[in-house]
Amino acid sequence: MIRVFIVAASPLARGGLENLLAMRGVSVVGRSASLESLSEQIVDVEPDVVLGDASGDNAEALLDALLSSNLATETAVLLLSDHPRPGWTAEALRAGVRAILPSEVSPEQLAAALEAAMAGLVVVHPSAIAVALPAPSAALSPLAELAEPLTPREREVLEMLASGLVNKEIAAKLSISEHTVKFHVASILGKLGAATRTEAVSLGFRRGLVLL
């Protein structure tokens, strides 16, 4: 039997997920309102999969918490999220998340995804694929010269973004504030014409601003 730990900010969401899992005979070994409180319990319960509710406003907070922890590299993580921003799905997968499904997933789909995640496979719902993968034509279009080049510090920040570092880690490495990092990231996005950090890194590689 699959052992699942539920992480959801809303008590209503936690109860709904537990009922959904009970319909498929899945064992819920714990519940938590956040990843921070999960870390205090996970050693004792040893779940096979952590099931996180990343719907609505929880999406960014949960992803940031995953990026700043090693949870997804040590335990299979499955997230439920509705219409995340472009780049969110790719960032979650790079953070080690094994499965991303819509919140209105059926009990059968959820059970299948839990088994796949526990087996080490990656599961992405078809509705998320178009958002996660850029259109081929965009990748082939020629790049115009930048109206304003990146500063040396902005190139440093871009390199760190490409390495998967979050704002807090970049701030620590450069001995600057997180607010300053956010300012640099916003400037990088504007100069490169990128909508997301992921797109900025991709454009940085294409322009030779990021070294492999």
Beta bridge partner(s), residue 50: 5, 77
Residue that terminates a domain, selected from 132, 156, 189: 132
Are residues 126 and 147 part of one domain? no
What CATH number does the domain containing 57 carry? 3.40.50.2300
* 148: containing domain: 138-206
- The pTM score is 0.60
Q: Which residue in 194, 148, 54, 103 sits closest to 185, CA to CA?
A: 194
Tell me the per-residue pLDDT of 27-60, one tens digit each, with 9 for 90 and over.
999 888 887 777 777 778 888 999 989 887 777 8
**How is residue 196 annotated by DSSP?**
S
Give the distance, in angstroms, between the CA of residue 81 and the centroid of all CA atoms in the same chain: 10
Contact 14, 6 (CB under 8 A): yes
In this structure, are strands 49-53 and 3-7 parallel, antiparallel, or unpaired? parallel
Are residues 70 and 120 part of one domain? yes
Are residues 122 and 41 part of one domain? yes
What CATH number does the domain containing 165 carry? 1.10.10.10
Residue that terminates a domain, selected from 106, 132, 158: 132
- The number of helix segments (H) and strand segments (E) in the chain equals 13, 6
Question: Is residue 211 in some structural domain?
Answer: no
Are residues 128 and 34 part of one domain? yes
Tell me the per-residue pLDDT of 122-146, one tens digit each, with 9 for 90 and over.
888 776 665 555 555 444 456 778 8
